[in-house]
Amino acid sequence: MKMSQISLAVFCLLIGLALQVLPSHAQNSQQDYINAHNAARSLVGVGAVTWDEQVAAYARNYANQRSGDCRLVHSGGPYGENLAGSTGDLSGTQAVQLWVNEKADYNYNSNSCAPGKVCGHYTQVVWRNSVRIGCAKLNQDNEEVSSDEDSEEEEDTGMGEVDVEALIIQPSNAQNSQQDYLNAHNTARAQVGVANINWDASVATYALNYANSRKVDCNLIHSNGTYGENLAKGSGSFTGTAAVNLWVAEKQHYDYNSNTCVGGQCLHYTQVVWRDSVRVGCARVQCNNGWWFVTCNYDPPGNYVGEKPY
């Protein structure tokens, strides 16, 4: 898709449906949003974006309008706009990083997204003529905790599904292959010196059978089987790679020295890089409501209480 629209301001909106979140302003300040955007812009030689209170007020007003349904529906206003939503504590910085991750799918020479891929959030973040930004985040604490992290000693993490509304949505099998799941896992494992994980057909069959059983409700409920398990769901073109990247993004909350999560969830990440988990099988199915349900199972399971992942 060619990029032709010129925007002078960008409005980013986060709609969070928090399952159980301690009050925090970490990674949600004006400067956090600015830093996340400008880090991406500087990598491609684009000048810094600055905060604009008028744009931010627009973002806040629209966020409040969406408090009733929390749907990622664009405002149709005069500004460029990126949206993200999560059941879990998705910070402003994390949302921007999700958009920036689309850089891998942007081809500068052709000024287009890779076939079947989404990159419109990223191009808005780094759009040279977008010089002012305003963001808002809305939380709704109105549901019970439902963990989607499984381990030998189960622990509630409060992490749920993450939904990123795509500006350009095209059906695609890209980023959903066995190798895509392995690449996403092994990139994270290599960063901390952990050996590659391998695909296991038996584990993958288990994952697919359970994913199919969740098509009716698409709820992030654990299978309570013998494997470690990470779950995610999302709308649009939510891919297996995107799900793994969300789990890996929790790395910033893992403190190795204390072997604890600090400032957010981290147990999806520790399962991804768990040294003794050497086999993985994943599945992605479309639920009856149109959302995508993604599960990865790990053998042997990780996240044993009192043990470090590597």
* Residues forming a β-bridge with 294: 232, 284
pLDDT of residue 26: 55
Strands 254-255, 132-139: pairing kind: unpaired
pLDDT of residue 18: 28
Q: Does domain 30-133 have CATH number 3.40.33.10?
A: yes
**178-299 and 30-133 share a CATH fold:** yes
pLDDT of residue 257: 97
For 16, the 3-state DSSP assignment is strand
pLDDT in tens, 49-100: 999 888 888 888 888 888 777 777 887 777 888 988 776 667 888 889 889 9
Domain definitions of the chain by residue range:
30-133, 178-299
pLDDT of residue 11: 66
pLDDT of residue 120: 87
Q: How far apart are CA 234 and CA 73, in angstroms?
A: 14
Cα 250–Cα 218–Cα 287 angle in degrees, nearest 5: 115
CB 87 within 8 A of CB 71: no
pLDDT in tens, 114-134: 887 888 899 999 998 888 899
Q: Please, which residues have CB within 8 angstroms of residue 154's CB and are 6 or more apart in sequence?
A: 147
CB 51 within 8 A of CB 30: yes
Q: How far apart are CA 246 and CA 269, in angstroms?
A: 9
Query: How far is C-alpha 73 from the geometric centre of its chain's CA atoms?
Result: 18
pLDDT of residue 55: 86
Residue ranges, the chain, pLDDT below 70:
1-11, 13-26, 87-89, 140-174
Q: Is 7 exposed, middle or buried (0-12, 13-18, 19+ CB in 10 A)?
A: middle
What predicted TM-score, i.e. pTM, was given to this entire model?
Answer: 0.52
Structure tokens given for 15: 């709609």
Q: Please give the biggest Cα pair distance in the chain.
A: 55
Q: 207: closest CA among 263, 283, 135?
A: 283
Phi and psi torsions of 137, nearest 5°:
-130, 130
Q: H helices of 142-276, where?
A: 178-191, 201-213, 240-248, 267-272
Phi and psi torsions of 80, nearest 5°:
-65, 155
Q: How far apart are CA 105 and CA 274, in angstroms?
A: 28
Q: How far apart are CA 125 and CA 186, in angstroms?
A: 28
Q: How far apart are CA 16 and CA 22, in angstroms?
A: 13
pLDDT of residue 145: 23
DSSP state letter for 37: H
CB 93 within 8 A of CB 36: yes
pLDDT of residue 160: 33
pLDDT of residue 67: 79
**Which CATH number does 178-299 carry?**
3.40.33.10
Name the E strands within the chain: 9-16, 50-51, 80-86, 106-107, 112-113, 132-139, 149-150, 162-164, 198-199, 228-234, 254-255, 260-261, 279-286, 292-299
